Amino acid sequence: MSRPHDGHHPSFPFGNPFKMRRPKRSPLSPKPIPLLTAFEARLADRIMKLMPRETGDILTLSWMRLAMETLSETHTDIKTLITDLQFPTSGWDEKWMHAYLEDSAKLLDICIALTFEISKLDQGLLILNYILHVLDLSVGFSSTDKLFRAHDSLLEWMHLIGSKALCTASPRNSKLESCSVLLRELAGFLCSTKLKASSKEKVLLRAMYGFKAQTVFVCTVFTAALSGSSGPLIDLHVPDELLWSSPFNDLQTCINGEIRRLYSAGSITVIKEMEFIDGCVIDLNMMIENLCHHSDVGEIETESLHKPVKEMGEIVNRLAQGLDLVSKQVNGFFQIVLSGRDSLLCNLRGSDDMQENNEMEHVERC
């Protein structure tokens, strides 16, 4: 993944609505209000879909896939809202364009960081599949040589992931640390109270507030889950008068609270499928170490590995399918953000060309 460098690196002029106090009530023209109400109602529905039915459902790969999917839907909804509000691109204030380009650049970098970490989990899958191949009892019993190879690979996986059996965390990922910084920047600016805006712009600002809140929440949960730490989590304070505030606050309290509880209890990961596979790896490794202590390992001894190897194979398959779906959703979100940037830049170039042509025609007429 890569993002285009457009040369714009301004600070975000509107600040961040996450820390803003109760917004000043400004009259909106009647026409944009139904559009805003419909947008916020859809946002509330998406947020409610993410509320787990049980605590044990936090945090599965299927939930992560759905969370990123709903985020993509909201971003697409924002683009539709801009069209429905009939914003003339050529009439946009330069601050608006700089703000969008700056925020979208951060989102692209965040996606790249998340994708990089997911690729590390995919690398771990390659190791696990190799272990399953080495311990495949359908081709005969596992010799001592195979057991030692499997043992070495199990340790390699443990070090890569940061298994709780080793009592060491996985290697620090500078990309994830940068991701956490970018998310705090998105959530760290104060909203400008002196911004002059039309009724359409006020509607878009309020809609963007919802999108940014959802973005920061989902991406900080992803970062916390993939980094093995609750440090990246951010608690946002959403004004009560927003239609989606109640489900959002409930969801944030539920998810962030459970992640913090799990990490404080010593979990090396809060992703359920990763937790299950780590338990399987630890148990299988202990069995192999015990077998390796015997000088003569035969078919009867290695038969004891059949059940744990089979169970690990089933979990590895579920993990592979889940990671693939999550990765596709992250990539999909990246492409949506990237296409939005490209569309805006193309429109701006088209507007500039049109303005230049009009000026040339005016000069020729004169």
pLDDT tens digits, one per residue of 200-259: 778 888 888 899 999 999 999 999 999 989 999 999 988 888 999 999 999 999 999 999
Domain presence at residue 100: yes
Residue type, 97: M
- The total domain count for the chain is 1
Domain presence at residue 75: yes
Residue numbers of the domain that contains 264: 32-365
- Determine the distance from the C-alpha atom of residue 319 to the mean position of all C-alpha atoms in its chain, rounded to a whole number: 17
Domain presence at residue 65: yes
Domain presence at residue 26: no
DSSP bridge partners of 16: 190
Domain presence at residue 148: yes
Domain presence at residue 183: yes
> 331 CB contacts (<8 Å, ≥6 apart)?
1, 111, 115
In contact, 221 and 198? CB cutoff 8 Å: no
C-alpha closest to that of 236 among 259, 209, 258, 263: 209
Domain presence at residue 324: yes
- pLDDT band of residue 22 (cuts 50, 70, 90) is very low
- pLDDT band of residue 294 (cuts 50, 70, 90) is low
Percent of the chain whose predicted confidence (pLDDT) is above 90? 46
Which residue in this structure is represented by tokens 């404080």? 264
CA distances from 71 to 77, 163, 226 (A): 10, 31, 18
**What radius of gyration, in Å, describes the C-alpha atoms of the chain?**
25
Domain presence at residue 268: yes
DSSP bridge partners of 190: 16
In contact, 175 and 117? CB cutoff 8 Å: yes
- Whole-structure pTM value: 0.82
Phi then psi dihedrals of residue 339, to 5 deg: -65, -35
Q: What pLDDT was estimated at residue 38? A: 94
C-alpha closest to that of 136 among 127, 147, 125: 147
In contact, 156 and 129? CB cutoff 8 Å: no
C-alpha closest to that of 44 among 202, 212, 214: 214
Higher pLDDT, 79 or 347: 79
Would you state the structure tokens that stand for residue 244, as one six-digit string? 């989606």
